[in-house]
């Protein structure tokens, strides 16, 4: 356990950051699940609308470096490809 005041403060900050990052990652996973659910429903217009909303969430989280920008880009690409493939 931390002994100095500086180390104690750093531990508090790290824990707060960890919780914030975990929340953001959860938000990202939820956004992806919403799009996948809309795709599974088969409604292309609704899926496209949900994808649009989710893309901004994914980009925002990548900009904060919670996840790597390439992961965000790859995820958006795969979701867009799946929406486009709907009949």
Domain spans of the chain, in order of start: 43-87
pLDDT, tens digit (0-9, with 9 covering 90-100), for 29-74: 999 999 999 999 999 999 999 999 999 999 999 999 999 999 999 9
Give 33-40 contacts, CB < 8 A, sequence gap 24+. 35/79, 35/82, 35/83, 36/79, 36/82, 39/79, 39/82, 39/83, 39/86
| Entry pTM | 0.85
Checking if the pLDDT of 12 tops 90, the result is yes
């Amino acid at each position: 356990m931390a002994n100095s005041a500086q180390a104690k403060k750093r531990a508090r900050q790290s824990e707060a950051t960890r919780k914030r990052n975990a929340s953001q990652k959860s938000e990202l996973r939820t956004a992806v699940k919403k799009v996948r659910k809309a795709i599974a429903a088969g409604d292309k217009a609704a899926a496209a609308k949900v994808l649009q909303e989710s893309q901004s969430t994914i980009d925002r989280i990548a900009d904060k470096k919670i996840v790597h920008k390439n992961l965000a880009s790859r995820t958006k690409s795969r979701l867009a490809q799946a929406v486009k493939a709907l009949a």
